[in-house]
Amino acid sequence: MMTLDEFRKHAHELVDWMAHYFENIEDYPVKSQCKPGEILKKLPEKPPSDPQSFDSLVMDLEEIILPGMTHWQHPSFFAYFPANNSYPSILAEMIISTIGAQCMNWETSPAAAELEEKMMTWLRDMIGLPSYFEGVIQDSASAGTLVAILTAREKTSGFRVNETGIGSVANLRIYCSEQAHSSIEKGVKISGIGKSNLVKIPVRSDFSMDPVLLEKALEEDIKNGYQPSCVVATIGTTGTTAVDPLREIGLVCRKYNVWLHVDAAMAGTALILPEFQWMIEGKEYIDSFLFNPHKWMFTNFDCTAFFTRDAVSLIKTFEILPEYLKTRTRGKVNDYRDWGIPLGRKFRALKLWSVIRSFGTKGLQMKIRQHISYAAELKNMISAENDFEILAPVVINVVCFRYAPIGTDEQKLNILNEKLNHMLNDSGRIYLSHTVINGKYTLRIVTGQTNVTMEHVIKAWELIKDTARKISI
C-alpha cells in the first residue's frame, strides 16, 4: 500500500511528467503506429501477486502505453472532432479525483449539486438559450440524446411505457436528417422504439435537413397510424457541420406536437460568439438541447451540457425512489440522479467552473474565433489549387475536401483519397478522418484542438499537397 508520504512524492513527480508531456507532445506521432495486439503482447498474462512500485508503473507507461496512444491533445490532431483539455481543466480533474465524491443526490455533496446548477445557468446564458431552460451535466452527447428520446417517448405515451412496456404504445416514430449522428439510431434501439421507426429525412444542398420533407414524412406517418414522438435536429453534423434550420423544423414540430431535441455536440460551443447566434434562430421551439464542453470548450471528457424546457417530464421519466435514497431535502433541491440514466455521478461541474473562470468569456471567444479563422484560411488555400476541391460549406471549424486531379474518374478519385488518408495518418505527422459525401470519399480537417495554431494548419496542408502529388494508383 502506498503511504501518504509516497503519494505526495509521486504526485509531484507525476505533475512534472504531465508538464513534460505537454512540452514535448509534438515529438510523438499523432496517431499511434502500433499494430493490433502489439500492446497485449507486452502486458503480463497474470496480475502481480506482490506489490509493485509506482516507479515501475511509470516506466511501463512510457515504454508500453504511450506507444499505443493516439495523442488527441497534439496540435496536429485534425481528425473526427476535438476532445480537448486545458491546464485549468486538468487541475480541476485532479481535485475531483482527490475528493472522490459520489454526487448522486444533493445531500451526498451539496456544493457539487449547487455548483452544477450555477454552471448550467452560466452556460445557458453564454450560448443564448432562453431563461426558462434548466440544465444538467450528462456524460456524453449519446447519453443526452437517449435521455431526450426517452423523455419524448414517455410524454407521447402519457408515461405508459415506463409502467407497462413499449408494447403498450404502438408505432412511435423518431425523425432526424440523413446526416445526423449515429447516436440517434442507437438511442431508438435502446429505447425500444426500434431502428425501423427511425425516419431519416433527406437533406438540402447544404446538407441540412429539409423541413418540407420532414412535414411530408410526419403527415404520411400519421395517415398510416404512426405516432410521431421526437425530431432530432442537428447544429453541426459530424460529417460536414451542416446546421439544420431550427425555425422551420420547430414550426413543424409545434404544429404536430412533437418533441424537438437539438444535438449541437461540437458546434454548440460556437454559440458563445454573438455572430453565430443565427444557428439557434427558432430556439423558442426547442424542447431539449445539448452540446459538449468536452469537445471544443477545453474541458476534459466527460462533460455534456444538457438543457430542457420541461424538467418536470424529464424527471418523471427517470426518477425512482428506493428507501435508501429518500432524504429530508427531497423536493427542495435538485437531485440530479433523477435527470438522466446513471445513479452515480462525478463532480463534473468543478472542471467547468475552473475552465470558465480561467479563460473568462472573452478568452473562450478569442480561442473559438481563432479556430474558425484557421478553417476559413485553409478553405481559401485549398480552393486556390486546381487539383483539390472543397466538397461542403465551411460553417465553423471543419473543412471537407479531396484531391481531384483533372481528368480522373470518380472511382479512381475515391481510391486515391482513401490511399492519401492512410498515408498521411501512417506518417505520424498529422491525423485526419474521412466521410463520404454524395458518394465521394472526403477528407476532413477539424481546426479545433486547444493548442493548434495557423502554423500547424499550414504544415498540415503542405504535407497533404506533397503526399497527394506523389501518389500513383
The answer to whether 138 touches 340, Cβ cutoff 8 Å, is: yes
336-386 pLDDT, tens digit per residue, is 889 998 888 999 999 999 999 999 999 999 999 999 999 999 999 999 999
Which of helix, strand or coil describes residue 201? strand
More confident residue, 166 or 203: 203
Query: CATH 3.90.1150.170 spans which residues of the chain?
Result: 1-31+70-84+360-473
- Provide CATH 3.40.640.10 ranges for the chain: 101-346
* pLDDT band with cut points at 50, 70 and 90 for residue 473: low
Yes or no: is domain 1-31+70-84+360-473 CATH 3.40.50.1970? no
* DSSP letter, residue 302: S
* Each residue's pLDDT tens digit, 21-52: 999 999 999 999 999 999 999 999 999 999 99
C-beta of residue 307 within 8 angstroms of C-beta of residue 288? yes
pLDDT of residue 230: 96
CATH number listed for the domain at residues 101-346: 3.40.640.10
List the 198-201 sheet strands across, edge first. 134-138, 304-308, 288-291, 259-263, 227-234, 172-177, 198-201
Predicted pLDDT of residue 351 = 96
d(C-alpha 364, C-alpha 439), whole Å: 37
Site of grid cell 444542398 = 205
If residue 22 lies in a helix (H) or strand (E), which one and from where to where? helix 4-23
How much is the pLDDT for 278?
97
As a whole number, mean pLDDT of residues 264-284 equals: 96
- Res. 321: pLDDT tops 90: no
pTM: 0.93
> pLDDT tens across 67-126, in order?
999 999 999 999 999 999 999 999 999 999 999 998 889 888 999 999 999 999 999 999
CA dist 470 and 456 (Å) reads 22
Mean pLDDT of 130-142: 95
pLDDT over 90, % of the chain: 86
Section 185-211 average pLDDT: 93
Q: What confidence category does residue 441 fall into, taking pLDDT thresholds of 50, 70 and 90?
A: very high
Q: Residue 168 above 80 pLDDT?
A: no
Provide the CB-side half-sphere exposure for 111 (13 A, CA): 6
Residue 131: half-sphere exposure toward Cβ, Cα within 13 Å: 0
CB 235 within 8 A of CB 268: yes
Average pLDDT, the chain: 94
Q: How far apart are CA 41 and CA 69, in angstroms?
A: 15
